[in-house]
Structure 1
């Protein structure tokens, strides 16, 4: 499957295949990264209330001068805000300086308190939070073009779909050769849910960047190892991908996607058999593995 430039959502809208991720991108740097990316061909920006950089992302959007309708914007409902999705939506719109979101995701199926550090909030049912997101989506199409989820395993997707009146447009999950999550990808494809891959490089200082298979394919295609890891996801029919950087050269480089053969994709996905890891383990939430059977 050759790399695509966009993927069709179940809403009928198109989502760019490659976007700029902003997890761990700090205020002071993320503004420039967003501005530079939008000025240099990126048409998708991803952030989250939990990243505490929505206002700075909004500043970067404004500084770019790129018309709002020219790019796809995603943010996420934070765990401590699951009691008040209405207020959280208005806060995100205000900080981002936009009238609407192309996509709003439930960040985790794990409600938290507003304590520091946050604790599991068992007074909130994340299924009720989803119902509130559905209500807002139906009542305010001028503010929400699509809703979806993030960090959902098959078990949690099944629980959601048993009561949902709106099928999530996207499920954003960690996805790279050392965390391929085949079961989630395959389930979502059957349900018409697009996957967005975060941490496609395996996060900061990833051993994947020096993996021999990755390096071999990078040399073969005359690109950087990061391009091979990003291209692995972009070559899948139901997947979009979010490389992250605040460095101009890397932002430009990360946008280069190459077509991979089925044999090359298979070779990359063999890596998981000997080197398995997660950059973002669900146990941090206090709710256990959240149904992810391959958490190690």
Structure 2
């Protein structure tokens, strides 16, 4: 059984710091990967409506011997349903075969639409109705966070953003820390970008600990207190990712990795993303 550290959220609930992402996983592969992850000891699964694999995540959960209460399930609201956030969540629950999810996120703020703010109010109501236990956002920049907090008085438990050593988002992470918003890292390995994996600091740390470059980068996230859920389409990689729990980077190695910032995002800009 994996011994995975937990992060306590501002609402008092705890989430495993290392989970499994399902972005771009084909349905059949999703069923295999989530089932294998649960068997290995993972208890944190991240999906979304737009990933089109909620059904298979639900099937994996339903056929697993792991109790539902022991698994943290996250899904997300796509912006074509901002005006019907509660209905969208209910449809996700039907696909997942669940009565509630552990975390429901607004996937993108899409400020040009101007609908995320109303969606946040509906998600607050969904939490009050017991359809979701913790609520948060994804890809929200500081102005987006400030607006939903000012308009509702409710602070998100989580902000899921792109973070990796080449794109560290320090100002946004500092803002989140000041408001007790946990940060989840998507694209934690910069989508496997060779430029990151071949950085001298990464390679040197990997050699020092006899681990892979990817394990070093995942360990960097963990030691910064970030919640991370790397996606993989290979069962063997689940165990490899979990080995990031088995060693600790030195303070010098962390500083060397921190120095790799080049502000190089691999994903879209939240200010102009329209889907």
Pick the TM interval, shorter chain: over 0.9
Which residue in 2 is equivalent to 1:101? 101
Q: Which runs of 5+ in 1 are unaligned?
A: 112-119, 288-296
Which residue in 2 is equivalent to 1:294? none
1:7 aligned counterpart, secondary structure: strand
Shift of 1:83: 1.1
- How far apart, CA to CA, are the structure 1 residues paired with 2:64 and 2:239? 16
- How far apart, CA to CA, are the structure 1 residues paired with 2:144 and 2:105? 15
Is 1:49 aligned to residue 49 of structure 2?
Answer: yes
Alignment partner for residue 244 of structure 1, among 231, 250, 271? 231
- Which deviations, in whole Å up to 9, do the C-alpha atoms of 1:109-148 show, x marking residues without a partner? 117xxxxxxxx6x3x521111111111111x12x211100
Shift of 1:4: 7.1
Is 1:146 aligned to residue 134 of structure 2?
Answer: yes
- How far apart, CA to CA, are the structure 1 residues paired with 2:4 and 2:35? 24
- How far apart, CA to CA, are the structure 2 residues paired with 1:198 and 1:184? 14
Q: In structure 2, do the counterparts of structure 1 residues 242 and 26 end up closer, same or farther at CA, with 3 Å as the change threshold?
A: same
The answer (yes or no) to whether the contact 1:36–1:64 under 8 Å persists in 2 is no
Shift of 1:206: 4.3
Which residue in 2 is equivalent to 1:177? 165
- How far apart, CA to CA, are the structure 2 residues paired with 1:64 and 1:179? 36
Shift of 1:204: 4.2
The answer (yes or no) to whether the contact 1:104–1:147 under 8 Å persists in 2 is yes
Is 1:254 aligned to residue 244 of structure 2?
Answer: no
Which residue in 2 is equivalent to 1:277? 264
- Which deviations, in whole Å up to 9, do the C-alpha atoms of 1:225-244 show, x marking residues without a partner? 1111111111123x211111
Is 1:126 aligned to residue 113 of structure 2?
Answer: no
- How far apart, CA to CA, are the structure 1 residues paired with 2:150 and 2:194? 37
- How far apart, CA to CA, are the structure 2 residues paired with 1:75 and 1:262? 35
Question: Normalising by structure 1, what TM-score?
Answer: 0.86
Mapping of residues 48-67 of structure 1, within 5 Å: 48-67=48-67
The answer (yes or no) to whether the contact 2:11–2:134 under 8 Å persists in 1 is yes
Q: Which has the higher helix share?
A: 2
Which residue in 2 is equivalent to 1:225? 213
Q: Would you say how many aligned residue pairs link Structure 1 and Structure 2?
A: 270
Mapping of residues 178-193 of structure 1, within 5 Å: 178-193=166-181
Question: Normalising by structure 2, what TM-score?
Answer: 0.93
Shift of 1:100: 1.2
- How far apart, CA to CA, are the structure 1 residues paired with 2:174 and 2:32? 36
The answer (yes or no) to whether the contact 1:233–1:240 under 8 Å persists in 2 is yes
Which residue in 1 is equivalent to 2:125? 135
Q: Which moved more, 1:163-172 or 1:16-25?
A: 163-172
Q: Which runs of 5+ in 2 are unaligned?
A: none
Shift of 1:105: 0.4
The answer (yes or no) to whether the contact 2:148–2:154 under 8 Å persists in 1 is no
The answer (yes or no) to whether the contact 1:8–1:15 under 8 Å persists in 2 is yes
Give the root-mean-square deviation of aligned CA atoms.
Answer: 1.8
- How far apart, CA to CA, are the structure 2 residues paired with 1:91 and 1:60? 18
